[in-house]
Amino acid sequence: MKVIGLTGGIACGKSTVSSILKSLGAKILDADKMAHELMQPKQALYNLYVAHWGERILTEHATLDRRAIGAIVFNDEKERAWLDSAAHPVLETEIQCRLTLLRKKHVSVVVLDVPLLFESGWDKYADEIWVASIPEDLQVERLMARNKLTESEARARIAAQMPLAEKCARADVVLDNSGTREGLREQILAAYQRSLAHQHN
């Protein structure tokens, strides 16, 4: 089984890359989606957060109030550090379980879609690293439009991440997403076929 680690800068079109790979037959493991599932009532992250913060982070329907959690961790460095260190191993265990299951099912290509692939150290699970990339000015423009941010807010968010240039330097495949979706699809198809050819050698 080939595992492609997919990451990219914020607003660089990683989800577009992911959906194109899915259409080519790859199985997608989306870390954000997994975290969301684990935050449902009685799941691992839900239990962990409620044990730590108590009822104040629950809505009236006893689901997690993500806004309340956001308010706590955004204003308190210590709480944010706790959140990261608590969530990280839970998610990593989930990724390991799912990779094992997919191996047993003889899936040929799995895409590990993780925004903070390098930062989390989960690049070690990938045979190849793919990075979605666009020039910084375009990144700022797309982020402002997508998240309704000012230019300085957008630049601050980009600056808070590992530099895109560093991600690209550590990648096996860099996808330039500054053109059309069709152009992006052609790059992905070529890299995907190369990837599969290596696998069968």
Place of tokens 């793919």: 130
* 81 within 8 A of 89, measured Cβ to Cβ: no
DSSP assignment of 42-91 equals TSHHHHHHHHHHGGGGB-TTSSB-HHHHHHHHHH-HHHHHHHHHHHHHHH
Residues of the chain with pLDDT under 70: 200-201
Residue 130 β-bridge partners: 6, 173
pLDDT of residue 74: 86
Rounded to an integer, what distance in angstroms lies between the CA atom of residue 80 and that of residue 14?
25
Per-residue pLDDT reduced to its tens digit, 21-37: 999 999 999 999 999 99
Element containing residue 113 per DSSP (H, E): strand 109-113
The pLDDT value recorded for residue 201 is: 61
pLDDT in the model for residue 83: 94
